[in-house]
Every structure is written in structure tokens, then in C-alpha cells.
Amino acid sequence: MGWLDDACRQNPPSARFGITLSVPQAELARERIRLAGLADRCKVEACDYRDLDPPTEYDKVVSVGMFEHVGEALLPEYFKRTFSVLAPGGVFLLHGIASSCMFQRTGPSFIDKYVFPDGELLPINTVLRVAESAGFEVRDVETLREHYPLTLDRWVKNLEANAETVRKMAGDVAYRIWRLYMAGSAHAFRTGRLNLFQVLLSKPQEGQSGLPLTRGDWYR
């Protein structure tokens, strides 16, 4: 899911537009927006980011759990496209999983075969190099590696607590695949083979980022 924030002239203040490739995810998001009474400020569409033709530039773009599926070959296009829809002075928050540059793969993994056949995890240094080549300035890099095993542990417990229901919905094979996948992923994050990063990138305007000087100021 990606969010584009437009506080410009053509939309209501702080209007938000989300895109996702998943039709069920888009439908669920629209229902939650409706229930929250935010339909006049938020919109979600099932759309490939490469097909997006916005009528205006955006002040902020957020990408969550998406670039892992772009792959190294298409990463330049991904950042070039994001850079083009941002207004000068805009910011891009990239949230995603990266691999350790110290870990060398020897072939297709269990996850490649059964969970994410289109995924490709890259070292963070590769991601930052391509982002800078597209014109972005790297403003902040934050690791959330220790957080993610805690989340995965909760997911595994919730899955196990609802095992019977899940098996009826998706079958025993799918249940066992996802249980093993999440438990194995938690181990990979704990041992440092995987990491979870939040990267803040900016599109400078004549060398000016327009951002506060410290991370504390951003959060306030």
C-alpha cells in the first residue's frame, strides 16, 4: 500500500490518495475510510504505481512493504517515478525489508517458492545508491529490526490460536506454509539476516530541504 499526501490547491487540505495492487485490500481500506467518516479526505484505488497519472504533484509519498517486490532491475524506474510525482521540497518515506549484504544466497528459498515468488530483498546500500541516483537526498535512515520479530511472534500466536478457522478457509498446507514462514522470518530478523528500515528521502528545492534540523523536531 502506498499513500500520497496532497496539501496543494486542487484538493481539500491534507487529502490522501492510496494505491495498492490488491483489490480486496483496496475494498477493505475504502470500507474503513467510510466507517471513519473520512471519505471526503481519503481515497484508495487498485492501481500499479507505473500507471498513475496524477493531476498534480504531491507533497508527501509513503511506501509500505512494497519495494521488496520491485527488484533490483526495476528499482531505478521505481525511484524515478516517485521523484517525478513529488513537488519540489516534497518527502518520500520508504518502509521496507532489506537483506544483510553479508548474507550470500545460494539458490531459491522456501519463501521464494511458496510465499513471495516475485520478491527480491536488497541490501540497504543498494537501495540508497539508486535513490540518490534518481535525485533524492537521504535525510534519515532508521532501523526497526528488533521490532519486527515481536510483531511476527504475535502473528504466529494469532495464527495458532485460530488454526481451525484458518485451515477451513485456506487449507492445511497454506496454514503450515505461513506458520513456518513467519516463525522463520522472526529468526532471520533476530539474527540480522534481515532488517526493517524506514528511510526518509527528500526532493530538494535549490538545495533546500525545508525539513527541521533534528529527528526530534520531525516527531513533534
**141 and 161 assigned to the same domain:** no
Is residue 182 pLDDT above 60, yes or no?
Answer: yes
Are 121 and 187 members of one domain? no
> Which strands, in side-by-side order, build the sheet including 15-20?
42-46, 15-20, 2-6, 58-64, 86-99, 194-202, 137-143
CA distance readout (Å), 60 to 28, 84, 149, 165, 167? 23, 12, 29, 40, 40
Same domain assignment for residues 182 and 96: no
Q: What percent of the chain has pLDDT over 70?
A: 91
Measured between its terminal Cα atoms, the distance across the chain in Å is: 25
Name which of 19-23, 108-112, 122-126 the model is least confident about. Answer: 108-112
> Both 94 and 6 in a single domain?
yes
Query: Is residue 112 very low, low, confident or very high in pLDDT (cuts 50, 70, 90)?
Result: confident
User: In Å, how far from its chain's centre is CA 177?
Assistant: 23
User: What whole-number distance in Å separates Cα of residue 6 and Cα of residue 20?
Assistant: 17
Closest CA to 215 of 147, 135, 148, 141: 141
Q: What is the pLDDT of residue 7?
A: 39
Same domain flag for 102 and 199: yes
Same domain, 202 and 185: no
Q: Give Cα 147 distance to the centre of its chain.
A: 16
Q: What is the total count of domains within the chain? A: 2
Do 54 and 150 sit in the same domain of this protein?
Answer: no
Please state, rounded to an integer, the average pLDDT across all residues of the chain: 87
State the pLDDT at residue 11: 44
Q: Cα(38)–Cα(9) distance, rounded to whole angstroms?
A: 19
Domain that holds residue 80: 2-145+193-219
DSSP 147-185: HHHHHHHHHHHHHHHTHHHHHHHH-HHHHHHHHHHHHHH
Q: Are residues 157 and 137 in the same domain?
A: no
Clarify whether residues 95 and 140 are in a common domain. yes
Task: Categorize the per-residue pLDDT at 127 as very low, low, confident or very high, splitting at 50, 70 and 90.
Answer: very high
**Which among 60-74, 131-145, 201-215 has the top mean pLDDT?**
131-145
Whichever domain contains 89, its CATH number is: 3.40.50.150
Residue 218 pLDDT more than 80?
Answer: no
Q: Is the pLDDT of residue 10 over 60?
A: no
95 close to 64: Cβ distance less than 8 angstroms: yes
Of residues 43, 53, 124, 49, the one with CA closest to residue 79: 49
For residue range 187-217, list pLDDT tens digits in order: 999 999 999 999 999 998 887 787 888 888 8
52 and 133 together in one domain: yes
User: Within this chain, do residues 94 and 186 fall inside the same structural domain, yes or no?
Assistant: no
Same domain, 172 and 84: no
Residue 1 has pLDDT above 70, yes or no: no
Whether the full predicted model's pTM is greater than 0.95, yes or no, is no
pLDDT band at 126 (very low <50, low <70, confident <90, very high): very high
pLDDT (0 to 100) of residue 6: 43
Measured between alpha carbons, how far is 185 from 148 in angstroms, rounded to an integer?
A: 9
pLDDT, residue 220, reads: 74
